[in-house]
Amino acid sequence: MSIFSHSAYDKHEQVAFYQDAKSGLKAIIAVHNTNLGPSLGGCRMWPYADDGEALNDVLRLSRGMTYKSAMAGLKLGGGKSVIIGDPRQDKTPELLRAMGDFINTLGGRYITAEDSGTSVEDMHIIGERTRFVSGLIEGSEHGGDPSPSTAYGVFVGLKAAVEHRWGRADLNGLKVSLQGVGNVGFRLARLLTEAGAELFVTDIFQDNIDRAVSELGATAVGADEIFDLDADLFAPCALGAVLNDDTIARLKVGAVAGAANNQLAEERHAAALREKGILYSPDYVINAGGIIDVYYQQHGDYNPAQVKEHIETIGTTMKEVFQRADETGETTAHVADRVAEERFGHEDALKKTDSEAA
């Protein structure tokens, strides 16, 4: 398996593999860029079809974390880890402790947190073996779980998208097709419901769907049907690469704004959305609430009001990206990439900036 020629490899500083036969752990950590600070990103556990799929995911996710932290104005780099396995069947304390041992081998270049398939409780177990773990603030409202902050940030950014696309400040009656109602998606769904939006939801787990229907009054739809709905906005809150040639052709919405990472299957799909008149909210900009929360946890003196204030700047950043894209004719994804790259010192961006100044 080639790393340096991999399509998702983007000058990553380090990619580490680890296997612990006793616990059954098979995991990968990818450190993308540490120009602004140590790499920080969640630990995802997922039943990947094969090792190649896991590698592709961790490379894409770690790159996204670099861009996310830069756009959020944080002194952090980008990293991510993945555990290959079903979190509902294969997760054990022994496996998580082995993951802590793995993280410790990087000596602080990578700091972990909860993600899809892992929880705050899991981070406590990982933390038995390494101090390079975050999202564990004792006594806070959510115990350090960054999911509420991620959801709130997406909600703020989604409102900015609605205002830009339709010129309205409220969400009353807005039809939202929401893919994935897990930790983040369900909290976003609740915020949307409280704001008066009408929800159509799907998820790979039936119990998540049932909870959204019974507690929020959402309408359940099929996993594939979610792309064909006559809705106003599509909110992808599950795994990545959901915006591709097939799904974009089927979308009937005016905007996309969701919590999922790496929503675009390929960079060119940002242009496909624009050509169809769909406003795209760059994922790593809109879903930065969680990393903002974790950043403040890492630096002590955690102040919920200060964290909320910082998260709410996501709305301002989204508006700036939308406006700049309108002015230049670029995609919102391209605009966000350029701004982020200038902030964390991507070589290509710096060369372009220098040539423009000359």
Residues classed as catalytic: 80
Query: Rounded to an integer, what distance in angstroms lies between the CA atom of residue 55 and that of residue 65?
Result: 15
Handedness of CA 70, 68, 78, 300 (dihedral sign): positive
Four-point Cα dihedral 263, 273, 200, 115, nearest 10? 10
Burial class of 156 by CB neighbour count within 10 A (0 to 12, 13 to 18, 19+): buried
Distance CA 202, CA 236 (A): 10
For residue 296, how many C-alpha atoms fall within 13 Å in the half-sphere facing its CB? Answer: 22
Ranges assigned E (strand) in 97-214:
110-111, 175-179, 198-202
Closest by CA to 72, choosing from 307, 271, 243, 261, is: 307
d(CA 203, CA 343): 36
> 């556990």: which residue's tokens?
45
SS percent in the chain: helix, strand, coil, step 5: 45, 15, 40
